[in-house]
Structure 1
Amino acid sequence: MDTALVIGGTRFIGRHLVEDLLDHDYDVTIFNRGNHDNPFADREEVTHVEGDRTNDSALEAAATEVDPDAVFDCVAYKPREVRAATDIFADCEAYVFISSGAAYGREEIPKREGETPLHSCTTEQAVDDTEETYGNRKAEGDRAVVAAAERGVRAMSVRPCIVYGPHDYSERLDFWIDRVNRFDRVLVPGDGTNVWHRAYVEDVASALRIVAERGEAGEAYNVGDRRLVTLAESVELIAAELQTDVEIVHAGPHELEAGGLSLEDYVFYREYPHVLSTAKLAALGWESTPLEEAIERAVEDHLESDRDGHEHGPDREDEERVLGILDTL
């Protein structure tokens, strides 16, 4: 394969995917509405086609204009969009849909492709726009990929867990980097041993390309860090990268409640561990970036940005009340 069309391609996962494709000698076209700054505007090797991916006619026009070998769908959030894209790009050598670990509908450790059941998706959920139905819609998109493969389309899915790294506009990891960078004491909910699997963004990008090149039609592939860490270990890794010492202070539900907080107020807290098996992807030759290296790049990017992730955790003033209560115990 020589040419790639990235639907999306300018913000986070798509941005890293474009870089990965360029590093592997693809001619790349990005297709989006142009609502966000284009980091490739001055790159002659990247073509931009403007259009709305929810408009089938615009997508068909892009397919005709670009005639790509591989298509990477970074911004399909409703199953109808996946069904339309797999029809429009049916003759391409590969169509890869970015699904999500949230598509899994049962809690088990680890969640495995083809074994762990997916969420169901009602007609109403399929057209919803809320966070509550995100996993349902991604699961139905996965089923659309399987249906396309049964029609002879080389369509595949990649299921990342929570993605982090440079240019992460979600700012989820930024919350914890900011806490470690600014305070000597970091409040960690629970006992710090909870696990929510995460995926470094450059690894997600390479996974998408590798699946397009080597994956099997109709199959889904999980992607996540090969080394899992607890929330407390994540804080320690960030502190090591920032070359600072922090005191991790644990607070259970009762201590947090005294300060008007709850465990669920904190990003990356999850009562039941969320772990994805990545063995299927690794069998294609994919490798994960060493965790310390991934954290180093994420911290460096955070320090160069104005992100603080404040929306993903309590105000520090509320935490100070909890810390004060703990100090009296």
Structure 2
Amino acid sequence: MNNALVIGGTRFIGRHLVEDLLDHDYDVTIFNRGNHDNPFSDNPRVQHVQGDRKDDEALRTAKLTVEPDAVFDCVAYHPGDVVSAVDIFTDVDAYVYISSGAAYGSEEIPKREGVTPLCKCTNEQAESDADETYGPRKAEGDRVVFEAASRGIDAMSIRPCIVYGPDDYTERLDYWIERVLNYDRVLIPGDGTNIWHRAYVEDVASAMRIIAEEGEAGEAYNVGDQQLVTLQEMLELIADVAGTEIEVVHAGERELAAGELSPTDFILYREYPHLLSTSKLAALGWESTPFDEAMRRSVESHRESDRDGSEYDPGRDAEERVLSILDTL
């Protein structure tokens, strides 16, 4: 395979996927509406076909124009998107759909492909844009992929957990980086040992390429950092690579309530551990970036950007009230 079509390709995961494909000698075409700046506009090896992925005729035109060997679907948010894609790209060597760790429908440690049940998805959920239907929609997209593979279509899924790294427009990690860079004391909920599996974006990109090259049709592959860290360990590593020092302060539900806060007001906090097995992907030859290096690149990107994660800010005044109470205990 040497000719790739990336549906999406200019923002976060898709952007890093394009860079990874270029590094591995692919010719790349990105297909999107052109609503965001194209970081590859000056690269002669990256072509752009403009169109809406909801428009089947536009997708067919892209296929006929590009004649791709591999198709990477970064922006399929509804099962119907996947239905259209697998029917249009029936004869490509690989169609890789980005699903999600949120597709799993039960809490297990770890969550494993083909073992842990997927979310159920009603017809109403399949058409919804609500946050609470994201997991069911992604799970139904997985089932579309599995059914397509049973018809001889080389379709596969990748299930990332929380993705972080340079160019992350969600700014979830940026909130915590901003706290570490600007405050000596950083308040976190609980005892700091909660685990929400995360995946470095460059590793998600390389995993997508490896799945296309080495994966098996009808299979799903989890992707996440091979070294897991707790929330506290993550903050301490941010401080280390940023060259600063912090005091991590723990607060339980009662102490947080004094500041009219709750544990779930803090992004990347999850009471029950979320852990994906990555052994299936590793068996294809994939490896993750060492965590300290991934965080160093993430902090560098944060400093060069205007991202601050402020939409997740529970309010420093409220945090200060909690810190004052904890100081009296």
- 1:272 matched residue in structure 2: 272
Q: CA RMSD in A?
A: 0.5
What per-residue deviation string (whole Å, max 9, x for no partner) do you get for residues 284-328 of structure 1?
000110000000000000000111111123111111111111112
Q: Which amino acid aligns with 2:247?
A: E
- 1:103 matched residue in structure 2: 103
Matched residues in 1 for 2:161 and 2:123: separation? 25
Matched residues in 1 for 2:41 and 2:187: separation? 42
Q: Identity percentage over the alignment? A: 72
- 1:10 matched residue in structure 2: 10
- SS, match of residue 292 in structure 2: helix
- 2:216 matched residue in structure 1: 216
- 1:126 matched residue in structure 2: 126
- 1:154 matched residue in structure 2: 154
- 1:33 matched residue in structure 2: 33
- 1:199 matched residue in structure 2: 199
Long gaps (5+) in structure 2: none
- SS, match of residue 71 in structure 2: strand
Q: CA deviation at 1:51?
A: 0.1
- 2:71 matched residue in structure 1: 71
Matched residues in 2 for 1:310 and 1:263: separation? 17
- 1:143 matched residue in structure 2: 143
What per-residue deviation string (whole Å, max 9, x for no partner) do you get for residues 251-303 of structure 1?
00000011010000011110100000000000000011000000000000000
Q: Which amino acid aligns with 1:258?
A: A
Matched residues in 2 for 1:247 and 1:190: separation? 15
- 1:252 matched residue in structure 2: 252
Q: Hey, which bits of structure 1, 4+ residues long, moved more than 4 A?
A: none
1:230 paired with 2:233, answer no
Matched residues in 1 for 2:204 and 2:95: separation? 16
Q: CA deviation at 1:190?
A: 0.5
Q: Which amino acid aligns with 1:294?
A: A
Matched residues in 2 for 1:169 and 1:321: separation? 30
- 2:82 matched residue in structure 1: 82
- SS, match of residue 116 in structure 1: coil
Matched residues in 1 for 2:234 and 2:223: separation? 19
Q: Which amino acid aligns with 1:324?
A: S
Matched residues in 2 for 1:324 and 1:182: separation? 18
Aligned residues: 329
What per-residue deviation string (whole Å, max 9, x for no partner) do you get for residues 163-205 of structure 1?
0000000000001000000000000111000000000000000
- SS, match of residue 192 in structure 1: coil
- SS, match of residue 85 in structure 2: helix
Long gaps (5+) in structure 1: none
1:57 paired with 2:84, answer no
Matched residues in 1 for 2:301 and 2:328: separation? 38
- 2:169 matched residue in structure 1: 169
Q: Which amino acid aligns with 2:205?
A: A
Matched residues in 2 for 1:262 and 1:313: separation? 13
Q: Which amino acid aligns with 1:64?
A: L
Instruction: After superposing the two structures, state which structure 1 stretch, 16-25 or 306-315, moved more.
Output: 306-315
